[in-house]
Amino acid sequence: MPLPPEEWTPDFLQYPAILIYGAAGSGKTTTASWLVKERLLLGHQVKVLDPHRSYGQWLGLECIGDGMNYEAINEELLAFSLAVRERYTQRSKIQNYDPPKLTLLCDEFTQWSSKCSHAATFFDACLADIRKINMHVMFISHARTLKGLGGTSGMADARDAGLLELELEAQVDPVTKEAAPKFLGWLKYPGVSLKNRQRVRLSKWMKECETFSGIVEENVPDGVGEDEPEEKNLKVSDLLNEPLKSIWLYTKKKGGWVSCKQIYQADIKVLHGKKMVEVRRYLGLLSDYGFGQIEEEKRADSNVRFLAY
């Protein structure tokens, strides 16, 4: 008999690496939307990589890759991989290290192998123990094969040991004759063989969220934007590697909001030869690590602003 949702969905709420796959119409995006809502309520920041996003989809979330912009997605894959490394560096230096929770939702991951040069490195980083640094990833794909997951080679054992997998089933709607969710699936825990996976039942209350705006606004972490003790300000730069350290020190000294253009034009030696888009990416990493706040929605690279904490 299939497990009811209340018995298996709690495992989905905090597990670091999840794969949701199945045929068209099986409810992959709907299930992922429900999970995103639940994670937002748990205090996660959520980013969405979706090259085929339709109008209004993932409303209220930061979406990357609109219009099949694989270059932007590729940059985010690299940024995530670098963030994993940087957070582990900080974990070795900070007692009881507890960075902000981040979930990256990767929709249509099937298409990324030939489009994104950093896909393999990213997939490898996601199968590491990212739970300890509060980083999470959700893959949506039509299949669990390595080809379906972006063509990553040599990763079968790591996939089987690192992903919590949910295969969803579809059925033909008797009225519309179109594919529709069957509300049944198979749950495979990491390290468990396919033949021993668990039959599970989904519920119609696990429905797609039309907008995430209100949830995001209500769940801004406590203390963001508040003044920190002076002692922390004096020592925090020692927790960062270059060029993040120099950028944070410059913006902290300037005080208030500092634009990407100001940083780019400043005489910061470690940034010599860097491009404006790279400076913007560094500011995004500082924000992800909890060292400041970035304001970048609908802004050109030069007008992106950063406020150091």
Residues whose CB falls within 8 Å of the CB of residue 236, separated by 6 or more in sequence, listed in order = 248, 291
Report residue 18 as tokens.
């999840």
- How would residue 222 be classed by pLDDT, with cut points 50, 70 and 90? very low
Give yes or no: residues 126 and 267 share one domain: no
Give yes or no: residues 282 and 178 share one domain: no
- When mean pLDDT is compared across 94-108, 131-145, 278-292, the lowest value belongs to 278-292
- How would residue 22 be classed by pLDDT, with cut points 50, 70 and 90? very high
Give yes or no: residues 179 and 293 share one domain: no
CA distances from 127 to 92, 143, 197 (A): 20, 17, 19
Pairing mode, strands 45-49 and 102-106: parallel
For residue 200, give the amino acid letter: V
Give yes or no: residues 206 and 268 share one domain: no
- How would residue 155 be classed by pLDDT, with cut points 50, 70 and 90? low
**Which pLDDT does position 197 carry in this prediction?**
95
Q: Where is mean pLDDT largest: 106-115, 228-237, 257-266, 280-289?
A: 257-266
Alpha-carbon span 206 to 262, nearest angstrom: 46
- When mean pLDDT is compared across 42-46, 111-115, 152-156, 298-302, the lowest value belongs to 152-156
Contact predicate 208/107, CB 8 Å? no
Alpha-carbon span 189 to 204, nearest angstrom: 23
- How would residue 160 be classed by pLDDT, with cut points 50, 70 and 90? confident
Give yes or no: residues 9 and 90 share one domain: yes
Alpha-carbon span 100 to 44, nearest angstrom: 7
Alpha-carbon span 232 to 242, nearest angstrom: 19
Q: Where is mean pLDDT largest: 138-147, 206-215, 238-247, 263-272?
A: 263-272
Alpha-carbon span 161 to 16, nearest angstrom: 13
For 239-268, the pLDDT digits (tens) are: 567 888 899 889 988 888 999 999 999 989
Is 21 within a domain? yes
**Which pLDDT does position 19 carry in this prediction?**
93
Residues whose CB falls within 8 Å of the CB of residue 187, separated by 6 or more in sequence, listed in order = 3, 8, 164, 165, 166, 197, 198, 199, 200
Distance between the two ends of the chain, CA-based, in angstroms?
52
For 168-189, the pLDDT digits (tens) are: 999 998 889 899 999 999 999 9
Give yes or no: residues 236 and 204 share one domain: no
Give yes or no: residues 47 and 72 share one domain: yes
- How would residue 108 be classed by pLDDT, with cut points 50, 70 and 90? confident
Contact predicate 301/220, CB 8 Å? no
Question: Given phi > 0 = left and psi -120 to 50 = alpha, else beta, which region is 201?
Answer: beta
- How would residue 287 be classed by pLDDT, with cut points 50, 70 and 90? confident
Whichever domain contains 300, its CATH number is 1.10.10
- How would residue 158 be classed by pLDDT, with cut points 50, 70 and 90? low
Higher-confidence residue of 108 and 155: namely 108
Instruction: Give the number of domains in the chain.
Output: 2
Give yes or no: residues 113 and 135 share one domain: yes
Is 225 within a domain? no
Is 224 within a domain? no
Give yes or no: residues 177 and 276 share one domain: no
Answer yes or no: is pLDDT of 229 > 50.
Answer: no
Query: Domain range spanning residue 261?
Result: 230-308
For 77-97, the pLDDT digits (tens) are: 888 888 898 899 889 988 899
Is 223 within a domain? no
> Residue 167 forms beta bridges with which residues?
21, 186
**45 SS3 class:** strand
If you write DSSP's letter for every residue of 242-289 in order, what string do you get?
TTHHHHHHHHHHH-SEEEHHHHHHS--GGGTT--HHHHHHHHHHHHHT
Alpha-carbon span 62 to 126, nearest angstrom: 20
Burial of 214 (0-12, 13-18, 19+ CB in 10 A): exposed
Total residues found in the chain within this entry: 309
Is 51 within a domain? yes
Please give the share of the chain, as a percent, with pLDDT higher than 90.
Answer: 36
Alpha-carbon span 84 to 78, nearest angstrom: 10
**Which pLDDT does position 147 carry in this prediction?**
60
**8 SS3 class:** helix
- How would residue 121 be classed by pLDDT, with cut points 50, 70 and 90? confident
**Which pLDDT does position 12 carry in this prediction?**
83
Query: Smallest Cα–Cα separation from 69: which of 105, 23, 108, 22?
Result: 108
**Which pLDDT does position 232 carry in this prediction?**
38
**Which pLDDT does position 235 carry in this prediction?**
43
For 46-69, the pLDDT digits (tens) are: 999 999 898 888 988 999 999 999
Give yes or no: residues 194 and 236 share one domain: no
Alpha-carbon span 258 to 252, nearest angstrom: 9
Whichever domain contains 171, its CATH number is 3.40.50.300
Report residue 284 as tokens.
């995004």
Give yes or no: residues 213 and 251 share one domain: no
**Which pLDDT does position 149 carry in this prediction?**
60
**Which pLDDT does position 142 carry in this prediction?**
85
